[in-house]
Amino acid sequence: MTVTTRFAPSPTGRLHVGNIRTALHNWMLARKQGGRFLLRIDDTDAERSREEHVAAIRDDLTWLGLEPDGEERQSERLEHYERAFEALRAAGRVYRCYETAQELELKRKILLGRGLPPIYDRAALALVEKDHAAKAAAGIAPHWRFRLDHGEPIAWDDGVRGPQKFDPAQLSDPVVRRADGSWLYMLPSAVDDLAMGVTDVLRGEDHVSNTAVQIQMFEALVAAGLGGQVPRFAHEALLVGREGKLSKRLGSLGCDAMRARGIEPQALLALLARLGTSLPVEPIAERDALLAGFDLATFGRAPARFDDGELERINAAIVHQLDYAAVADRLPEGMGAAGWHAIRPNLSHVGEAAEWWRLVTGPVEPPAFAPEDRAFLAEAARLLDWGDDPWRSLAAALKEATGRKGKALFLPLRQALTGMDHGPDMAELLPLIGEDEARRRLESAAAA
């Protein structure tokens, strides 16, 4: 069977590092086994879903290189949910309820006060048709719950957490449909996973109890003749930050914010691919190398801490690996492969290239030099010989002529030529500056 995974975001905001990690791991799980990675837009919440967020999700996945093999939108599959709902209704697996949110909260508080699990008491199951008719006559529409089978424990072998077992009697029958006819997450997700042939569901550990409930939904849907089979499940530890669980509200951790500040997609993926695993986080730019080490057996149970500083370090290391062709369209005018190679080691973000390229294009502002350094720079202008390796030739000639070496030799030259105390390798930078401009800068510094 072809391994098929899915990423199912709700288009209520931009992607952030938490759900990017989920998308990445599902992509890796599928690709590692030559399978399919699908995108499902969970947009049944018409009030909160936004079309611009759908477009942003697609754009972000493309930027990350996690383009799906197929896409579905729940808003276009409503007839499938209706058909599944009617099948479950005929099988007696969904039932009508009328409690208000306030009534349910009161019941919950009473149970907690008694030291009992705050689960739904199934009071609506005692209603008869006469009761339902009275509610309808009063204009009160029902919401619908899925009826859990309390006969056997719900068990599965989780790909990360190992054997799992839940007593269904300790779980609430979940609401699957609101009084206005709209759908909650549970049932449409199960219907779609069956229809899309999803074989593996990899998601955050906050869905573990949902999985227990959905396994019975899957089984009920299959028994009702809707086809498919129950997928395998794996639940990874959640990402946490300095303030606890990450959230869509943390805009600085959104994909758009990462792009705006110059984070490379390879850096973000290299970090997120291994956070929460026993493998070291390394600046691995090649997808095949990341895939080679991907294994659910390496995933741990402890929360994985997202460190923005670590992302910056990984990003700098990735930038230092990037070939000219990969960044050419983002570099300042006039910078070629030699220029990129010269300044690349000094960059943390590709966007910094323009500032470093100014060392070549000018103008530069050298410091005020002592008289002896001005004389040294005048000698440098005189001895400048533009051969195959002008920097080393100049340094050798000056050393012989002046006796200077080390910092006393190199620092005044760098300052005069670039206006800085540090920077790119001068052996690479000087040919880019050019003979005439280099001599002009040395003479100008000597005369200042």
Q: Could you count the other beta carbons within 10 Å of the beta carbon of residue 234?
A: 23
DSSP 299: B
Give the residues across from 36 on adjacent strands.
4
Q: Can you list the positions of beta strands (E) in 205-298?
A: 232-236, 239-241, 244-245
Q: For residue 137, count other CB atoms closer than 10 A to its CB.
A: 8
How many other C-beta atoms can be found within 10 angstroms of the C-beta atom of residue 277? 21
- Give ∠ CA 272-21-174 in degrees, rounded to 5: 150
CA distance 393 to 387: 8
Provide the pairing of β-strand 304-305 with 239-241.
parallel
3-state class of 166 per DSSP?
Answer: strand
212, burial (CB in 10 Å: exposed 0-12, middle 13-18, buried 19+): buried
Using CA atoms, how far residue 202 sits from 148, 262, 267, in Å, is: 23, 29, 22
248 is in an annotated binding site: yes
- Whole-number Å distance between alpha carbons of 16 and 323: 28
Per the annotation, binding residues are: 248
Binding-site positions for ATP read 248
